[in-house]
Amino acid sequence: MSQEPPCRVGATPADLAREADRAVLYGAVLASQRPGVRLKPAIAEPALALVPAVRAYLTGEDGPLAETALAYARACGAEAFLIAKRRPTRS
């Protein structure tokens, strides 16, 4: 009997990589909203490295940092998630 979770049966290496990248993004969003939060060791370092870009995006900044966060989210299939977390900008 396989020890692989049913949700991963048939998953390609690319699918697993996107899943891992989404976990990093989710961790970065969480860490940007709750400084000092403990993240799982497997994602802590890359998530914390992504925090400045995610924070820039979430606070409504325009520029290279915010674009980095959005590009990362697009690449891992989590663009809608990141957009939903962005604070509305005031006109």
Burial classification of residue 31, based on how many CB atoms lie within 10 Å of its CB (0-12 exposed, 13-18 middle, 19 or more buried): buried
pLDDT digits (tens, 9 = 90+) for 49-74: 999 999 999 999 999 999 999 999 99
User: Within a domain: residue 42?
Assistant: no
pLDDT digits (tens, 9 = 90+) for 22-44: 999 999 999 999 989 999 999 99
Q: Which residue segment(s) compose the domain that 56 sits in?
A: 52-91
Q: How many domains does the chain have?
A: 1
User: Within a domain: residue 56?
Assistant: yes
User: Within a domain: residue 61?
Assistant: yes
User: Within a domain: residue 47?
Assistant: no
pLDDT score for 49:
97
The pTM assigned to this predicted structure is 0.85
User: Within a domain: residue 19?
Assistant: no
User: Within a domain: residue 59?
Assistant: yes
User: Within a domain: residue 83?
Assistant: yes
User: Within a domain: residue 70?
Assistant: yes
pLDDT digits (tens, 9 = 90+) for 7-23: 677 888 898 899 999 99
